[in-house]
Chain A
């Protein structure tokens, strides 16, 4: 069984947390902090298994993690899971690769802004703490089909919202705040709601 899946960045900011057992919000944050503490102080070239987070599980549980650029992917699993299998699940065939495919070169920003999508992808891979699917193509097919459905539901009504969000997602900070042509100074209106 997988007890929890956590993604946080190099500073311990949670990017995704999925607990397959109930904890209060406070405990969850504490677990994330503790896990971050354990994981972040490890060197790059040491093994990816860690025994005994105090809060989660106990002696039967292991933390299995991988570190990519700015993100840590941590799975807390018990002894019924194969350590190497879970490592593979994180990287080689499944999780990160799927994210990569779905977001086209995934980076931390994708996870920050689309945590719901990451959850949806994860849901096709792990369910209730058990591995549901390990075939990346199958996962992507299902995720795509659901996204398509979402789009078709939005239909015509969704169009303006999409347009707005496209505008919102434009990289506004790059727009000059003031345009100076000779003496004429044009103040570009600040659009706080667009930011």
Chain B
């Protein structure tokens, strides 16, 4: 045998392993793809072999190839094979491969459920660990649902290594299977106080991830986290908690107040930069959440800003970067404190690191004020000149525009300066943002009426010098500005100094090289200019000038008519014909300027980008029905209720214009005018000028802006914005001087361009008045715009499903589906390799626990006293278990209490606890007191409500079970089956209780009251193995379907005494037929070390695997447990003998069977029959069936009245069929099996089961 293995491995050692593969790839640099394809062929051959080692090696190589980008999903099944190897080495390779290439649509994943479950319950912690790690990468909703319970059990595993992994993976499970969150949450919360720092950190990690997405559900944990924060020394945990608080504070400002002090302490004390940074961040979040301007917090802001300055000044680029990042958060609420560090931030603009420069730019955006805008932009313009690399320069450009245009040009006091800046920016070469500049020019020119004259002059210059911009034409994004320039010159041509010159500039042949859409604008606006020119020329006596202008148009336009661009062509030919017609009229001496101008009359107003979207559908208006009743439409519009009528700006009573016959357009314009007139946003110069505006839409009536500085309105070359900076300075100085003398504001207002004015800066801030009062026209919105904020959340966000209220008590229906092999039928596809024996016990525990929790809550009102006692007991146990010291006590207790209170009081007790905690003095030491007081307060209510709760109790389990059955995977099963299941489950639950009351689980004591209400008596498969004054052992045996010769014995050891038990060794005298599986290398008589120690009062479970040859006979094995009893002063060696009884039943495995398959089986004639009669059985039939199912691992195939057929299968594949009939107290069981001895023994055991009760 050994020789064979060695020989096999010698054959194998010449197989290529991973290292050889890598080496090979490196040696075949020139034909890598070819080499790899031959390797893949080899791997395919290797995968075909039976030897698992060869397969594992192949899979290992595939994992590497996957990293190189090769699709290896074709080997998914082989990966599963390797995963299920019993050797850790191969298992690990398999799981690694799976974690790298499995995903939700990998179909073989559904084959892994049982394998993973088996590994999770493996006695080897690394098998479990590797399975958890793998699962964390490829968990699917199905896996999450099926394994949630197993993983939850592992959260209480004895090994911290497993616990932390199990806790962490729960997050993934929650994401895939949100229903598991509520049942698992109590335990997760418990893990926050795990004695092992790794587990604690994992729990904090998971809760932080959860809370980040749905913070409000986790507010109630704040006290607990607060305690952790003040007690923990692990920086990782601290950072996570502090980040979490950052997410929580916006929801609860009181929490913020409480946090400030400990956080400031941390800031002062910590040496870890990462922690310091997160503290500062959270303090900022707190300060944001508190209403700003609270005087007592200015110290904290100062502290933060000061610490951040240190970070920014640090030579470490990372700190600098983060400092700037955090600074930008402060900026939002406390701009003043940041503005004092402007020097530092401007300095960062010179940094060599682009990320830092960009961050600094972001900061600048928020730092500008009316006072420093010009200065900052000037600095930025310098950087634009210096900047190398177009990306950064483009970034600068957009930032300049952003800074200037933010909040409706709030900080711009001098628009001439801004226009010059824009014009200067056009000199940038190769920028992509020409359209941005263009849209700014358009926006300013349209909305700031006072600036139009200046803007037009500038644009005319631009058009004149177009050749400077359009160096390399099409590729150059900057030519977009010509679009704006042409439009502005055309639209506001009345301001043009020399329209003729501009017209000529626009019709230059070179224009034809511009992009089509710009040419189109040129053509259109040339026509507008033409109209203007015509108007001025017609006034003269000499009519030749006008005719010459027409001739110019007629000469130049054909160039555009030939354009390849449709738009240009169409416009050009239209206008050409028009001009030709005009020329004809001119030759007849007809005055036509008026009429030509009428073509372009009216003013264009900006429309808000969201205007279309904001048009509300009026109430009662069915968009489909409209077509049938057209007349009703106008009515419905008039009847619009004012409620929908919410505009961004507050309005005074708004006179409605109801001129019936007026055109819609006119009506709207009128309404808009009216609205602007009444809008408080516009500062009216005087009531009279208001009227003036209404009557005369022209500008002429108002004195033209007399700017008190002599900016030349026509700048011959390109303007220098700098001169405006200087002029602005002077102006401000002058103004200040004037101001001192007397209030002369009125004069200013007279100068303004229009009657209604928008004083963009009320005198408040720095006493800076804008150079000219500007009328910033707001964008037009539809009449009934809805104030909608478009923060639609991503509907696909998996976290949405996790928005679950965690404080509500658990309902009965909310349980994790427990797929216990005892009773749950499976889909036929999985029939073959269904269940494995392991992990029965922990599963039960957790079900029980959940159930029990719920029970607690419901019953507590009735038995509050009893319960209290139990709580205490439980509490003690917990303390022992955690070895956590007294510090944990109050919090645990308060949680318990709040759970108790939950149902009767409608208000959430945890929240009220939180209130209490929050309203307390912010000194950390008070926390515990507070919680205890809260507990005391919370205690009375249960009694008050005790009357109602229990009444509903009896029905609940039924419903819950149905729901559960439905929710579980097996819902496809027949109704009948469901019914049976229900019963079985119920029984099972009892069993749990029972077991725990004698098995002594952590929560055992809480079950005392449960049984009497349940229709079924308790059941347990665990029977006593041996017991003495120190220890008690109970055991259960389960077959392993995947290996027909293995059974797993689960033994629960309970420490009964008050001393510490350790070095437990479990040994069994093997028989010929049954042997205890011992690790490789140990002798046949060596004992197995029990992998844990038992503190007093604690119980734990260990599993031992036995190999059995024949399963047809029951047998008994003698064994001994040796252990050391350790007291404070002494330790003694003790032993305990026991007899393990392997019943035939324990070789049976619950296997579902469909009735047709069952019928076929019976008809096949291979089975031999036998029967037994049970007398004096007085229990309901379904109880009877449930017992058989439960104790003897059968499943019900079909039940008709008092007759039922049942089926089970042995681990070696024997079929066992039962037909159970009952009449009165007699039960007759006819049975068939292909192995008569086995059948006889099973029947004997069934008989014995019922004779006992």
**A residues in contact (CB < 8 Å) with B:** 1, 14, 16-18, 20, 22, 24-26, 28-29, 43, 45-51, 80, 82-85, 87-88, 112-116, 119-120, 123, 127-135, 138, 142, 145-146, 149-150, 152-158, 160-161, 164-165, 168-169, 193, 195
Contact = CB atoms under 8 A, between A and B. Distances in A.
B352 A149 contact: no
Contacts of A114: 19
A18 to B, nearest CB: 8
5 contacts: A25-B66, A47-B353, A84-B273, A127-B168, A132-B198
Contacts of B795: none
Given A51-B355, A130-B205, 6 more contacts: A82-B277, A84-B322, A128-B137, A134-B201, A153-B1080, A155-B1080
A146 B90 CA distance: 12
B67 A115 contact: yes
Given A46-B353, A49-B318, A133-B164, A165 B17 contact: yes
Interface stretch (B5-13, B39-47, B762-770): B5-13
B1036 interface: no
B96 interface: yes
Contacts of A132: 164-165, 168, 198, 202
Given A46-B353, A113-B22, A127 B169 contact: yes
Contact of B14 (A20, A48, A193): A193
A158 B273 contact: no
Contacts of B161: 142
Contacts of A150: 88-89, 92
Contacts of A51: 355
Contacts of A142: 129, 161
A122 to B, nearest CB: 10
B69 A119 contact: no
Given A22-B103, A146-B126, A128 B172 contact: yes
B168 A130 contact: yes
Interface string B269-290: 0000110011000000000000
Given A82-B243, A82-B278, A161 B9 contact: yes
Interface stretch (B206-214, B469-477, B831-839): B206-214
A-side interface mostly: helix
Interface residues of B, number: 80
A87 B130 CA distance: 26
A164 B13 contact: yes
B60 A84 contact: no
A47 B317 contact: yes
Contact of B63 (A116, A168, A169): A116
B727 to A, nearest CB: 40
A82 B136 contact: no
Interface in B1-32: 2, 5-6, 8-10, 12-14, 17-20, 22-23, 26-27
A147 B253 CA distance: 51
Given A85-B274, A127-B168, A146-B88, A156 B20 contact: no
Contacts of A17: 67
B989 interface: no
Interface string B186-228: 0000000000011001100110110010000000000000000
A84 B20 contact: no
Contacts of B14: 164, 193
Contact of B126 (A82, A128, A149): A149
Contacts of A46: 317, 352-356
A84 B270 CA distance: 14
A29 B19 contact: no
A20 B321 CA distance: 27
B89 A154 contact: yes
B2 A156 contact: yes
Contacts of B321: 47, 49
B377 interface: no
B88 A1 contact: no
B456 interface: no
A140 to B, nearest CB: 13
B92 A120 contact: yes
Interface centre among B27, B67, B68, B322 (most CB of A within 10 A): B67
Contacts of B68: 14
Contacts of B8: 157
Given A47-B317, A48-B318, A132-B164, A123 B133 contact: yes
Nearest to B71: A25
B236 interface: yes
Given A88-B274, A116-B96, A132-B164, A80 B104 contact: no
Nearest to A79: B212
The 7 A-B residue pairs with the shortest CB-CB distance, nearest first, are A128-B136, A84-B274, A22-B103, A47-B317, A46-B353, A29-B69, A47-B321
A131 B12 CA distance: 38
A169 B70 CA distance: 26
Given A25-B70, A113-B19, A150-B88, A135 B209 contact: no
Given A161-B9, A164-B14, A85 B352 contact: no
Nearest to A89: B236
Contacts of B208: 80
